[in-house]
Chains A and B, each alone.
Chain A
Amino acid sequence: MPTSNDPSAARILIVDDQRSNVRLLEQTLRRAGYDAVSSTTEPREVGALHVQNDYDLILLDLQMPQMTGFEVMNELQGTRAAHPVSILVLSADSTQTRAVMAAGADAFLGKPFRLPDVVERVQGMLQARGTP
């Protein structure tokens, strides 16, 4: 687990089937100084990517045609990565908040979001796990 105060050290994965959302989140996080941001529009790859890269934080969309965010979280619970990953779910469906938290997410943000809120939430979650 990275311990330096350099935000670029935090390994973050963005999962969303819509490219525009992926680009938006990537640019937002990069501007905030997070350099180790990668992304995928294919939720079925998330499990394998996590085993391979041991992310600190995953930003996860809920409604994706290939596989829902719930299924992704379910799969992540079964993966044997080195560390448990923090999950921030971003969804247009705010009625799902409770279900999302129960399924193992650590935080929820409704879409559309204010960019400062995303950055603040990411910072808070990384701090909580000892990653800046």
Chain B
Amino acid sequence: MAMAAVELRRKNALLKTGALQNAILNSANFSSIATDDKGVIQLFNVGAERMLGYSAADVVDRITPADISDPQEVIARAAALSVELGTTIAPGFEALAFKASRGIEDIYELTYIRKDGSRFPAVVSVTALRDDELAVIGYLLIGTDNSARRHAEEKLRGTEETFRLMVESVSDYAIVMLDPDGLVVSWNTGVERIKGFTADDIVGRHFSTFYSAEDVASGKPKRALDEAAASGRYEDEGWRTRKDGSMFWANVVVTAIRDPAGNLRGFAKLTRDLTERNKVEVALTNARAAAEKANLAKSDFLSSMSHELRSPLNAILGFAQLLESDSPPPTAVQGESIIQILNAGWYLLELINEILDLATIESGKLSMSLEPVSLPELLLECHAMIDPLAQRRGIRMSAPRSDAPYCVHADRTRIKQVLINLLSNAIKYNTPGGSVAVDCTADAATGRVRITVTDTGAGLPPEKLAQLFQPFNRLGQEVNGEEGTGIGLVVSKRLVELMNGIIGVESRTGEGSAFWVELLSSTPMVLPAAVEPAAAEESAAAATAGLRTVLYVEDNPANMELVERLIGRRKDLRLLRAIDGKQGVELARTCLPHVILMDINLPGISGIEALRILRDDATTAHIPVIAVSANAMASDVQKGLDAGFCRYLTKPIKVSNFMDVLNGALALAEERHADVQ
């Protein structure tokens, strides 16, 4: 009875713990099991009931927690604790509570067995419950279901295993883990393949072994780690050493590895052997250089070939011409033969010229001077050049309309070449009695002007259109006996593209073709109103001491006209005109103008060369020369000023600026004149 009374007292004491007790009892997520000092369950809360499937009534005063634990695990724990603590611990509740009974905090994992026999992993914390005299009166076991965590851990272990296997099996990358000091901790098979080292060679050694002696001496390995530690990552490309001393070109990435608290745990070093890629790159570079060299050689060859071919051709054509105009004149049959020689000869020359043109374009040696070109004027010039051919062939050519004042951004000489090519094709490949029309339209949306040359020839089927712009492809015209090289359109296409334009064709079999060129529209030069006749007379009358002369050297008529009108407004100025550098220099020497305006891109000698000639001549050296050029790049301007132009005006000419610069130059001329006197 006394025993029973003591037990009751202990139990009451145990139950007297109030709020804590309630909390424990009401927690549904933790199993709280309280036992007496023998381990017999006294309390079994809601959480325990839910987790283990027993009701409190099933277990209280009946079993110990050891009875709901995996017996094998309890035995194993007893054995392990016996060894650990040097005392015999019986398998049973003692194995679960022994540490707690000695005041040692104890948390362990074990497998609980539910009432239905199913099992689940649990983490259990065991605490001894003591009375006022510190005697153990029972134990509290708080447990959590560890299934989810265990599952996650297993999954993680699986992932880690997969990852480890993956890293290990990677053979194209050498992956080395380093400790914070740079000693090799672990590595993968890639290290063996790429560097030739085996694990025994390198684990525990400093990773600088991978570097050349010079790199080590210069502190490169240390710098790599310092940088990776500082910025998280270090990358480098360079030569590295294999075990056998041979070198390989490597890409190296070193990444710092830190724990969540930010402490440096080591480095991961990833090395890739780029020797092959490097070889491929070198081979590619060499191949490219060789191809460029070959292309240049080809262009040079074509260029010198065409010159070489011209010399004998000169004799053939020359003497044939002499025979043709001989006295006494050749017989009719001889005349016929001579014409054949001449026709073939001139055709051969045309062929050579076109090949040279193409070679020049392809070698990138062709220089373009893009400036506003007035189309009505240009088309009239082309018409005048091509009309004789049209008349010989009996083709009607409508004169181009000059009312549409279109202006395009182009190289004057080259756009003319393109249009002449299109026009002569339209005439040559027309039908007898056919016609050729030229039209211009502007598209405000694209800012382009389209020039279309329409013929009434046989037209081309779609499959032939695609071959039109291929060199030497004459689309079967050779059998029709029409001379041509098949290069003309190719050259035209390249030229148009160099002028930032587009060339194209639309054609219908039996109706004819329409070849078009689209070029960027340019603001037409706004010409000031022509000077009134009265004023002109006045200025002529004023040809006295006060009249000053300005020489303008320019080959573009539109620019010339603009300047003519600007100068025409000034009664004190007279304009002299020259259309090329040679003429300009001659005029300057004979007329000694006060100021010279000089275009840079001139036929024959350039504006810069003309300036040099003027500077070298004592009679003209003092004349201020202003450059007027479409080359508006800063480098062009600098080049011009370096050459000795006193000012550099870019086209299109801005009227007010032009007058300011001209006045400045006139003032400068006065000063120099005064100095001379």
In angstroms, how far is the closest chain B Cβ from the Cβ of A123? 17
Contacts of B313 in A (CB 8 A): 112
Nearest CB to that of B582 among chain A residues? A101
- Whether the Cβ atoms of B311 and A98 lie closer than 8 Å is no
Q: Interface-forming stretch among A2-10, A23-31, A37-45, A66-74?
A: A23-31
Interface string of B307-341 (1 = CB under 8 A from A): 11011011111110110010000000000000000
- The residue from A18, A101, A108, A112 contacting B349, defined by CB atoms under 8 A apart: A112
A111 to B308, CA, bound (A): 11
Within A69-94, which residues are at the interface with B (CB < 8 Å)?
92-93
Q: How far is the CA of A83 from the CA of B322 in the complex (A)?
A: 32
In the bound complex, what is the Cα–Cα distance between A34 and B325 (angstroms)? 17
In the bound complex, CA of A112 to CA of B313 (Å): 6
Quick one: CB contact mask for B284-326 with A, threshold 8 Å, 1 for yes?
0000000000000000000100011011011111110110010
Contact between B604 and A21, CB atoms less than 8 A apart: no
Residue interface mask B603-621, A partner, CB < 8 A = 1: 0111001001100000000
A63 vs chain B, min Cβ distance (A): 8
Distance (whole angstroms) from the CB of B318 to the closest CB of chain A: 4
Chain B residue at minimum C-beta to C-beta distance from A97: B604
**How far, in angstroms, from A18 to B319 measured CA to CA in the complex?**
14
Our pick among A24, A63, A102 for the contact of B605 (Cβ within 8 Å) is: A102
Q: Is the CB of B311 within 8 A of A24?
A: no
Question: With A and B bound together, what is the CA distance between A115 and B565 in angstroms?
Answer: 41
Task: Flag if B311 contacts A92 (CB, 8 Å).
Answer: yes
Could you tell me the distance in whole angstroms from the C-beta of B319 to the nearest C-beta in chain A?
A: 6
Contacts A98-B604, A114-B321: A21 and B315 contacting too (C-beta < 8 A)? yes
Contacts of A95 in B (CB 8 A): 303, 360
A53 to B349, CA, bound (A): 36
| Interfacial chain B residues near A102, Cβ < 8 Å | 605, 609, 612-613
Q: Check B311–A101 contact: CB distance below 8 A.
A: no
On whether the beta carbons of B310 and A101 are closer than 8 Å, the reply is no
**B581 CB-CB contact with A under 8 Å:** yes
Chain B interface, number of residues (Cβ within 8 angstroms): 26
Instruction: For A104, give the chain B residue with the smallest CB separation.
Output: B613
Interface check B345, CB cutoff 8 A: yes
Q: Are B310 and A111 in contact (CB under 8 A)?
A: yes
Given the interface pairs A102-B609, A115-B322, the reply to whether A18 lies near B311 with Cβ below 8 Å is yes
Contact B314–A92 (Cβ < 8 Å): yes
B322→A93 contact, CB < 8 A: no
A108 to B605, CA, bound (A): 11
B581 in complex: contacting residue of A18, A24, A101, CB < 8 Å: A101
The listed residue with most B CB atoms (<10 A of its CB), out of A18, A28, A98, is A98
Contacts of B321 in A (CB 8 A): 114-115
User: From residue 427 to 476 of chain B, which have CB atoms closer than 8 A to chain A?
Assistant: none
Bitwise, A92-132 to B at CB < 8 A (1) or not (0) is 11010110011000101011111100000000000000000
On whether the beta carbons of B613 and A20 are closer than 8 Å, the reply is no
Residue of A97, A101, A111 ringed by the most chain B CB atoms within 10 A: A101
Q: CA–CA, A112 to B605, complex, Å? A: 22
Q: Are A93 and B307 in contact (CB under 8 A)?
A: yes
Contacts of A98 in B (CB 8 A): 604-606, 609
A113 to B308, CA, bound (A): 15
Question: What is the CB-to-nearest-CB distance from A20 to chain B, in angstroms, rounded to a whole number?
Answer: 4
- Shortest distance between the CB of A107 and any CB in chain B (Å): 9
- Chain A residues lying within 8 Å of B606, measured Cβ to Cβ, are 98
Q: B613, A115: Cβ atoms under 8 Å?
A: no
| Residue from the list B307, B317, B319, B325 in contact with A92, Cβ < 8 A | B307
**By the criterion CB–CB under 8 Å, are A21 and B310 in contact?**
no
| Residues of A close to B605: CB separation below 8 A | 98, 101-102
CA distance A11 to B216 in the complex (A): 83
When distances are taken between beta carbons in the complex, the residues of chain B under 8 Å from A63 are 307
> Cα distance A20–B311 when bound, in Å?
10
Q: What distance in Å separates the Cβ of A11 from its nearest Cβ neighbour in chain B? A: 22
> Can you show 27 pairs from A to B with CB atoms below 8 A apart?
A18-B311, A20-B315, A20-B319, A21-B314, A21-B318, A24-B314, A24-B318, A27-B322, A28-B318, A28-B322, A92-B311, A93-B307, A95-B303, A97-B604, A98-B604, A101-B582, A101-B605, A102-B605, A102-B613, A112-B314, A112-B316, A112-B318, A113-B314, A114-B321, A115-B318, A115-B321, A115-B325
Q: Which 3 residue pairs spanning A and B have beta carbons closest together?
A: A92-B310, A112-B314, A24-B318
